Amino acid sequence: MTDARMIRRQTLIPLLPLAALLVIYVTSLQTIPNGSEHYFMMDVGETQVVLNTWGTLHATGYPLYVMSGNLTVAALRLIGVSPVTAPAVVSLIWMLAALGLIYVLMRHLTGRTVVPALVVLVYGLTRTVWIHAVIPEVYSFTLFLMALLLIIALWRGAVRWRVLWLASIGGIGIGQHRAVAMFIPGLVYATWADVRLGLRRPLTLITAALLGLAGLLPYAYLYLRAQAGGAWVYGDPGTLAGLWDQFTGKEASRFIGSITSLDGLIANYNLVNRVLLTDLTLPGVLLGLAGLVIGVRRHETRRVALTLTLVGAVCYGFHVVAYTDVLSALILPVTLALAFGWLLLVDWVLQTSVFVGTRHASSSNQVPKTGRDMSRPYSLIASTGLTFLALISAAILYAQNQPFIHELTTDLTGVETIDRVQLLPPNATIMLPWGVHHAAVGVARDVLGMRRDIGLVDHKADYAAVLQNGRLFTLSDVFYNQPISWWEERLGQPIYLTAAAPYLVEIATRPRLGLVDAQAEIDGVIALDYFLVCHEQRFSLAVNWYTPTVPDRDLSVFVHGIDLANNLVTADQSAPVYGWRPLTTWTPREIVSDHYPLPRVGGLQEVRFGLYEQLPSGEFRNTVEYVITDIPECLP
Taking the domains of the chain in order of start, what are their residue ranges? 13-408, 412-494, 511-636
Q: What is the pTM of this model?
A: 0.89
Closest residue by Cα to residue 109 from 284, 312, 339, 334: 339
What CATH number was assigned to the domain covering residues 511-636? 2.60.40
Locate all alpha helices (DSSP H) within 497-582, ordered by sequence: none
In terms of pLDDT, which residue wins out, 602 or 147? Answer: 147
The pLDDT-based confidence of 8 (bands split at 50, 70, 90) is low
Locate all alpha helices (DSSP H) within 257-327, ordered by sequence: 262-297, 302-322
Q: What is the mean pLDDT of residues 256-273?
A: 85
Closest residue by Cα to residue 422 from 539, 500, 532, 530: 500
The pLDDT-based confidence of 373 (bands split at 50, 70, 90) is very low
Q: What is the mean pLDDT of residues 13-30?
A: 90
**CA distances from residue 232 to 108, 378, 414, 623 in whole angstroms, order as listed:** 44, 61, 18, 50
51-77 pLDDT, tens digit each? 999 999 998 989 999 999 999 999 999
Res 615: pLDDT? 80
Locate all alpha helices (DSSP H) within 85-219, ordered by sequence: 86-110, 114-124, 127-134, 139-154, 162-176, 184-190, 192-199, 202-214
Res 380: pLDDT? 65
Tell me how far apart the alpha carbons of residues 353 and 331 are, in angstroms, rounded to a whole number: 33
Query: For a pLDDT cut of 90, what percent of the chain falls above it?
Result: 65
